[in-house]
Chain A
Amino acid sequence: MSNTTVKQKRTALKVAKSSKTLNVSSGVFRVNQSITKTINPSISGKSFSSASDSKVLDKSLAQTPKHTVQVFDEHGQDVTPHPLYNPDPGVLQPKQGKIFPAHDTSWTTVTDFPSVAFQTTNASFTGPFTKSFFGSVSASRTSQTTESVTDETKDLLVKPDLSSSLSDVQARREEVKEQVREDIIDRVVDSYLTETETIWLLDIPAVSVSEDSEDAEAVKERNKAYTELCKNRLGNDKYVERSMQTFNDAPKTKEVQSDSITMVDKAVMSSTWDMYDSFCNKGDASENIVVSAEGKKATVPDSSSMNHLLNPSGPDQSMSVFSTTSTVSGSSAHLEKMTCVLPVEEEPDLELILQSDKFKQDLAVMERVVLANIFQPKLAAYRQLPVIEDPDCVQTQIEEESWTEQSKNSLSPFLEHLWVFKCELTKGRNVSSMTWNKKNPDLLAVGYGQLDFKDQKPGLVCCWSLKNPTWPDRIFHCESGVTALDFSACNANQLAVGMYDGTIAIYNVQTTEQTPIIDSSDCANMHACPVWQLRWVDHDTGLAGEDKGEMLISVSGDGRISKWIHYKGLECVDLMKLKSPNMIVNNQRWNPKILSLAPGLCFDFHPNDSKVYLAGTEEGHIHKCSYSYNEQFLETYKAHTGPVYKVTWSPFCPDIFLSCSSDWTIYLWRQDLSKPVLGFTSGQKVVFDIMWSPHCATVFGAVREGKVEIWDLRVSSLDPTIVSVTNPGVNPTALLFTPETDCVLVGDSEGQVTVYKLKNLPAGDSTQVEALEDVIRTTLSSKHTLGKTDRDA
């Protein structure tokens, strides 16, 4: 029903005579459409169709009121919108009359249209309500006839009275709700209808006034007067048209120039270590700033911290770089943002770098690395690792053949030459003693000193490391020739050095200082003759009080075996005086009270029982002594006819010991026999040094003038198993087995220490103690049968 009146409005529009009005109205409609199109599509669609297509309107004309309206757009599709709510016509009736009269007069003039139109367009967005009003308003129009044309045009543009519309809606809503709840319709419900406060959504003061309002008449009057005035304006003397000219000043161009804003891209790569560094350096940040502000140190705040500027073209360019950045540093020094930038210090001098400790360390490591590359196969052989050939190695044919030939083809035992410890310093010196460090098996101490009375020159102690065979790690110059060396077991850095003039010094090998920790030259009791042997002995068993711990024991040419105590200085206590009781000189009988001392040349403590030790003298006697009894020997072994240079207990058999002397012999003794069990002679050469092999009980090595011999008693007790002849003129003077591997070191009179590997020696599972004992037993039994021994074995 409402829609039909809408149609009537359309027709009214169509009928309007003045094209201008039509245009305006259609224009207005168009404006309206743009705002209300979503809400009143029917109306807007229809409006267009009314303008363009007369068919629809004709259709609408033909239709009778009260029919439901079908809305069709220009394509003929049914776009009938569903009403947002269905107004109850009964409720609306009383309100309808209000709106219209106010607009009657306002629509008569053309000029009003735009203003009204605009106003209404502004207000017409209150969509849902407008429709109802259209509906409600139009319903009332059926009764009116004369003014229906203009009024109906106004219908669409009527501004709704919001408050009334709202209350309408509310009333309607209530009704709807009550219809729905049919299931509880029996319930007695108290419903209260109240009017809420007015919600102002938009308040545009109305320019038009309702016809029913009080000042409607006044407004009408005013409007009328105004239109009269406007009509009278033309040709009226009261109104004069005047024009004015304004000065148009010359345009002035103003330019402002500003510095271009330089854009700098900053990026920081943050890595784990960068964050860690920043965190650690945060505390030092202020420090760093002070440092960088003071000296002309160039900070480079724009570069990331770890990327130093690479400047390959030399120092000149680097200077310029620093000069530009120094200005920056001047300003940035005051900035507090130094945290993640390591201050780039002034370029440290070449001197500084070269003298820094770290550099020295690095150099040492580098040297070892380089040498490790060179000596790798030899070191691998030493350490009993498989020797792997370098895949990139282009070894010369000859070299390879000679080395492998000897090592692969030969089945007989031989000494494989590995390398030589030598350097310029040691050239020409005589190796007098060698010893391994007790803690670090790669560290070797070698003492250089002449053993003869003549040719005495200042001695030298070199600490060699296996990792660097070309230069010793430590060099200590001593005043006189070094004759004895030993590393302490308790304090592995202490090296005791015995010298030709009887001095004993203890060096600390951890430092490169040339001065020893302690020297015995202040001691009143110091040795007057060369110290031939030194040993740190650990008395840990069964001794009371002060004798526990490690002690330095020495034997020297003045016939004393002394124990040295490091208290405040070195103090010595004599353990034994090596008396020589059987000296008869020139038929004169010595007063037995005046006993001269025989120079002691060597001693050795029993490996198991540290109270018992053997001492060898220049006379050829070997004395067995006890630590706690310094008056007399326990036993004396006499067999050698020359000075006994070395006496050693067997490390495996507790009763067996070896002795060597300058009478070209090596004797194997058993401690309960006063005569040697076995004697080893090969050639008429002085035996300088012997040593039991630490791996096999039946193997020992001997060093003679011009030869190095390795004896294996399982194989033969008459001939050495391996004989290695040294260069003519060079005498091997010292022998040392390696405690862990099967190598042997030989020091010679030219200052060289050669490392040999024992190859193809018959290996055994155990230490062959039984084998040794067997040998001895057979020997003894054979001797016994031949009647040469006094006692049974």
Chain B
Amino acid sequence: MLDIECAGAEVEETIKRIQSQKGVQGIIIVNAEGIPIKSTLDNSSTVQYAGNVHQLLMKARGMVRDIDPQNDLTFLRVRSKKNEIMIAPDKDYFLIVIQNPTE
């Protein structure tokens, strides 16, 4: 899960760039089943994030599509006291970035 596989230099670079931005605490890529496939955090946090975000995404997507079935969720941001969790969902995966911009 924590193996960083070689998957396209450009993509890798972008991930590294995001990781190096100010205040970014971690990046997690989760596949469609909710299994984290790539992460820069430790195992337990990753699993926690992946599981909880998965549920939240389902709810959020369900809500958006309930109101208009042709609509779909494209981005979700959860701002908390300590940090901000940004989620980019997709059919096959979702990308989670945790950042504390005021660090």
Kindly state the separation between the CA atoms of A310 and B99 in the bound complex, as whole angstroms.
25
CB distance from A247 to the nearest CB of B (A): 70
Residues of A within 8 A of B102 (CB): 390, 392-395
Is A360 close to B, CB under 8 A? yes
0/1 per residue, A329-360, Cβ < 8 Å to B? 00000000000000010011011111110111
| Contact between chains at B51 and A359 (CB < 8 Å) | no
A543 to B38, CA, bound (A): 61
**Listed stretches A147-155, A253-261, A268-276; interface member:** A268-276
Choose one: B7, B34, B66, B70; the contact of A310 (CB below 8 Å).
Answer: B34
CB pair B92–A351 under 8 Å, yes or no, is: no
Let me know if B5 is at the binding interface, CB within 8 A. Answer: yes
Q: A354: nearest residue on chain B (CB-CB)?
A: B7
- Please give, as numbers and ranges, the residues of chain A lying within 8 Å of B14 by CB-CB distance: 360, 363-364, 367
Q: Is the CB of B66 within 8 A of A373?
A: no
Write out, one digit per residue, whether chain B residues 73-96 have a CB within 8 A of any chain A CB (1) or not (0).
001010001101010101011010
Task: Tell me whether A369 and B5 are in contact (CB under 8 A).
Answer: no
Docked Cα-Cα span, A600 to B47, in Å, equals 65
Asked whether any CB of chain B lies closer than 8 Å to the CB of A295, the reply is no
Supply 28 A–B pairs (Cβ within 8 Å), ascending by A: A271-B65, A272-B66, A272-B69, A309-B33, A310-B51, A312-B50, A315-B35, A318-B35, A347-B35, A350-B7, A351-B5, A352-B92, A353-B31, A353-B92, A354-B8, A354-B29, A354-B38, A355-B7, A355-B8, A363-B15, A363-B18, A369-B77, A369-B97, A374-B21, A390-B102, A392-B82, A470-B21, A471-B17
Measured between alpha carbons, how far is A307 from B59 in the docked complex, in Å? Answer: 11
Given the contacts A353-B92, A373-B99, A392-B102, A276 and B65 also touching, CB distance less than 8 Å? yes
B 1-24 binary contact with A (CB < 8 Å = 1; else 0): 100010110110011011001111
Given contacts A312-B35, A363-B11, A369-B86, 19 further A-B contacts (CB under 8 A): A277-B69, A306-B58, A309-B33, A311-B33, A311-B35, A314-B1, A314-B35, A347-B31, A347-B33, A348-B93, A350-B5, A350-B7, A353-B31, A358-B92, A359-B90, A360-B11, A367-B14, A374-B23, A393-B102
Q: Which of B24, B51, B101 lies at the interface centre, i.e. has the most chain A CB atoms within 10 A of its CB?
A: B101
Q: Is the CB of B17 within 8 A of A367?
A: yes
Q: Which of A376-404 touch B at CB < 8 Å?
A: 376, 390, 392-395
Q: From B101, which residue of chain A is reached at the shortest CB distance?
A: A373
Closest chain B CB from A375 CB (angstroms): 9
| Contact, CB under 8 Å: A373 / B15 | no
Report which of B1, B67, B77, B92 forms a contact with A348, defined as CB distance below 8 A.
B92
> Complex Cα distance A344/B34, Å?
13
A306 touches B62 (CB 8 A): yes
Contacts of B84 in A (CB 8 A): 373
1/0 contact trace for A624-639 toward B, CB 8 Å?
Answer: 0000000000000000
- Residues of chain B contacted by A79 (CB below 8 angstroms): none
Tell me whether A365 is interfacial, beta carbon within 8 Å: yes
A393 to B23, alpha carbons, bound, how many Å? 12
Residues on A with C-beta less than 8 A from B65 are: 271-273, 276
**Closest CB in chain B relative to A768 CB, distance in Å:** 39
Q: Is B32 an interface residue (CB 8 A)?
A: yes
Residues of chain A lying within 8 A (CB to CB) of residue B92: 348, 352-353, 356, 358
Whether the pair B17, A470 counts as a contact (CB closer than 8 A) is yes
Contact B86 A366 (CB under 8 A): yes
The A-B contact count (CB < 8 A) is 138
User: Would you call B37 an interface residue if the criterion is a C-beta within 8 Å of the partner chain's C-beta atoms?
Assistant: yes
Binary B-proximity of A456-496 (CB < 8 A = 1, otherwise 0): 00000000000000110000000000000000000000000
Q: Quick check: B34 and A371 within 8 Å, CB to CB?
A: no
- B21, A371: Cβ atoms closer than 8 Å: yes
B38 cross-chain contacts in A, Cβ below 8 A: 350, 354
- Whether the Cβ atoms of B81 and A392 lie closer than 8 Å is yes
A355 CA / B67 CA spacing, docked (Å): 32
Minimum C-beta distance from A380 to chain B (A): 13
B101 touches A271 (CB 8 A): no
A277-B69, A315-B35 known; A307 vs B58 contact (CB < 8 Å): yes
Residues of A within 8 A of B66 (CB): 271-273
A351–B7 touching, CB < 8 Å: yes
Q: Give Cα A354 to B24, complex, Å.
A: 20
Q: Which residues of B contact A362 (CB under 8 A)?
A: 88, 90, 95
Task: Give B65 Cβ to nearest chain A Cβ, in Å.
Answer: 3
Cβ of B5: which chain A residues have Cβ within 8 Å of it? Answer: 350-351, 354
Q: Does A370 contact B (CB under 8 A)?
A: yes
- The verdict on A308 contacting chain B, using a C-beta distance below 8 Å, is yes
Q: Tell me which residues across on chain A come within 8 A of B95, comparing CB atoms.
A: 359, 362-363, 366
Q: How far is the CA of A360 from the CA of B18 in the complex (A)?
A: 13
Residue of A nearest to B36 (CB): A312
A308, A355, A364: the one contacting B33 at CB < 8 Å is A308
The interface residues of chain B lying within 8 Å CB-to-CB of A348 are 31-32, 92-93
| Chain A residue at smallest Cβ distance from B102 | A393
Known: A310-B34, A318-B33. A360 touches B58 (CB 8 A): no
Q: Which residues of B contact A390 (CB under 8 A)?
A: 101-102
Return the chain B residue nearest A390 by Cβ.
B102
Measured in the bound complex, the distance between the Cα atoms of B102 and A373 in whole Å is: 9
* Complex CA–CA separation, A369 to B88 (angstroms): 10
CA distance A348 to B94 in the complex (A): 13
Contact indicator per residue, chain B 40-81, by CB within 8 Å of chain A (1) or not (0): 000000010011001000100010011101100001010001
Q: A308–B32 contact, CB under 8 A?
A: yes
Residues of B within 8 A of A358 (CB): 90, 92
Residues of A within 8 Å of B11, CB to CB, are 354-355, 359-360, 363
Tell me whether A359 and B18 are in contact (CB under 8 A): no
Complex Cα–Cα for A508 and B89 (A)? 30
Closest A-chain residue to B70, C-beta based? A276
Q: Which A residues from 289 to 330 make CB contacts under 8 A with B?
A: 306-312, 314-315, 318
Pairs of residues from A and B, 8 with the lowest C-beta to C-beta distance, nearest first: A273-B65, A276-B69, A354-B7, A373-B101, A393-B102, A362-B88, A310-B34, A273-B69
Chain A residues in 8 Å Cβ range of B47:
312
- A271, B62: Cβ atoms closer than 8 Å: yes
B18: nearest chain-A partner, CB-CB: A367
When C-beta atoms are compared, the residue in chain B nearest to A423 turns out to be B17
Instruction: Give the distance in Å from the alpha carbon of A784 to the alpha carbon of B56 in the complex.
Output: 78
Pick the contact of A359 from B34, B62, B93 — CB < 8 Å? B93
Closest beta carbon of chain B to A352's beta carbon, Å: 8
Q: Bound state CA distance, A277 and B70, in angstroms?
A: 9
The residue from A275, A306, A353 contacting B93, defined by CB atoms under 8 A apart: A353
Q: Which residues does chain A contribute within 8 Å of B69, judged by CB atoms?
A: 272-273, 275-277
Q: How far is the CB of B96 from chain A (nearest CB, A)?
A: 9
Provide the residues of chain B in CB contact with A353, threshold 8 Å. Answer: 29, 31, 37, 92-93
Q: Which residue of A lies closest to B79 (CB)?
A: A392
Chain A's nearest CB lies how many Å from the CB of B89?
Answer: 9
Shortest CB distance A374–B (Å): 5
Q: Tell me which residues across on chain A come within 8 A of B70, comparing CB atoms.
A: 276
CB atoms of B23 and A373 under 8 A apart: yes
Q: Are B34 and A308 in contact, with the CB atoms below 8 A?
A: yes
Contacts of B99 in A (CB 8 A): 370, 373
| CA of A111 to CA of B17, assembled, Å | 112
Please state if A350 and B62 are interface contacts (CB–CB under 8 Å). Answer: no
Complex CA distance for A318 and B82, rounded to whole angstroms: 33
Residue of A nearest to B87 (CB): A366
* With A271-B66, A276-B65, A373-B99: A365-B15 Cβ-Cβ less than 8 Å: no
How far does the alpha carbon of A347 sit from the alpha carbon of B36 in the complex, in Å? 12
Minimum CB–CB distance for A586 against chain B, Å: 58
Give the chain A neighbours of B81 by CB distance below 8 A.
392
Is A369's CB under 8 angstroms from B62's CB? no
User: B21: which A residues are within 8 A, CB to CB?
Assistant: 367, 370-371, 374, 470
